[in-house]
Amino acid sequence: MGLERCGGCGLPVYVRLAARWNDDGTVTGRFVHSTRVVQIYSDELDFIFDGLAERIGFDINRIIVEGERKAGLAFTAPLLGRWRGLPGAVARNALVSRFVFGFVARAGKSAGFGDLRVTGYRRNELLEITVSDSFNPAILAGNTLGSFEAFARKPSRVSWERRADTVVITVEAGGWEDRSDEDRLKPRLPVVLPGRYTVERCPRCGMPADLGRRYDFDLKRGIATEVSSGRRIVTVMIDSLNAVFKELESELGEEVGDMIVALESDYAACVADVPAGTDDD
């Protein structure tokens, strides 16, 4: 199993590093406590975003990227600013900054985003990530952009293209200086309902023992699957999804909310029609 997994329950250490399973039933980011994460089916997000684009009649990737950028920025900036900015000072150091993005790429693999590799890097200028078995590229690109901006402390732009079986995401500094209205989209947290969440925990790492049984993490490929159905799941920040939906709503109008609800029920109906384990690509 090596160092990347808990010797007790087999969960990837990055899952534990990234999130804390609280006794009130919520899951929060370990470092930035206002962040909450959730496991969601990978194809569910594709279904909703593709469905929205089809109904509206134009490409919504730019809006998804913008929502994710703000969420990524909101997540990374406080992280780098803790302890009087010490983590930021260390992380931005010329010698370690490339390593930091390597760490982030590995965390992304544990989250099930695909096999991410940093394939190009110039400090504060350029970041290129090549992804095999990529999760939704617009989400990934937006999030990478937000983290890069928090890191480089300047507006940047992102693009991506499919090359054979991979997606190549490129972030370059500059170009978006005219961007305004930075606060229009503050990620909003769902209400925390008080409750008790007493589950059997792994004696070694303290994570719920059920997680290791319910999900299978292929750390080499960066693919996580639900054991019972064989379906791919990803671990995402709730704030980042809310940020995208909020961005869609502010750009396209409130009808977007109704469309998402309709698409969700279409999706649920589709999934119910497919026997477990056969809808995986």
Q: By the criterion CB under 5 A, which residues form the site for Zn ion? A: 6, 8-9, 202, 204-205
CB count in 10 Å sphere of residue 2: 7
Shortest distance, position 4 Cβ to Zn ion, whole Å: 12
Comparison of 5 and 231: residue with beta carbon closer to Zn ion: 5
CA 141 – CA 113 distance, rounded (Å): 11
CA 55 – CA 205 distance, rounded (Å): 45
Shortest distance, position 206 Cβ to Zn ion, whole Å: 7
Comparison of 13 and 129: residue with beta carbon closer to Zn ion: 13
Q: Could you identify the residue written with the tokens 């490129």?
A: 170
Shortest distance, position 27 Cβ to Zn ion, whole Å: 16
Comparison of 76 and 235: residue with beta carbon closer to Zn ion: 235
Comparison of 210 and 249: residue with beta carbon closer to Zn ion: 210
Shortest distance, position 211 Cβ to Zn ion, whole Å: 9
| Nearest Cα to Cα of residue 71 among 18, 14, 177, 142 | 142
Comparison of 207 and 263: residue with beta carbon closer to Zn ion: 207
Instruction: State how beta strands 37-41 and 27-29 pair.
Output: unpaired
Shortest distance, position 139 Cβ to Zn ion, whole Å: 28
Shortest distance, position 7 Cβ to Zn ion, whole Å: 7
Shortest distance, position 208 Cβ to Zn ion, whole Å: 9
Contacts of 96 by beta carbon, 8 Å cutoff, 6+ apart:
90
CA 41 – CA 31 distance, rounded (Å): 24
What the block records as the tokens of 64 is 């998804």
What the block records as the tokens of 268 is 């649920």
What Å distances lie between residue 220 and 122, 209, 247, CA to CA? 26, 22, 33
Shortest distance, position 205 Cβ to Zn ion, whole Å: 3
Backbone φ and ψ for 218, nearest 5 degrees, come out as -95, 100
3-state DSSP assignment of residue 29: strand
Alpha helices in the chain (DSSP H): 13-18, 42-56, 61-91, 97-110, 137-152, 209-214, 238-252, 255-273
Classify residue 117 by its DSSP letter: E
Comparison of 49 and 217: residue with beta carbon closer to Zn ion: 217
Comparison of 8 and 25: residue with beta carbon closer to Zn ion: 8
Comparison of 21 and 75: residue with beta carbon closer to Zn ion: 21
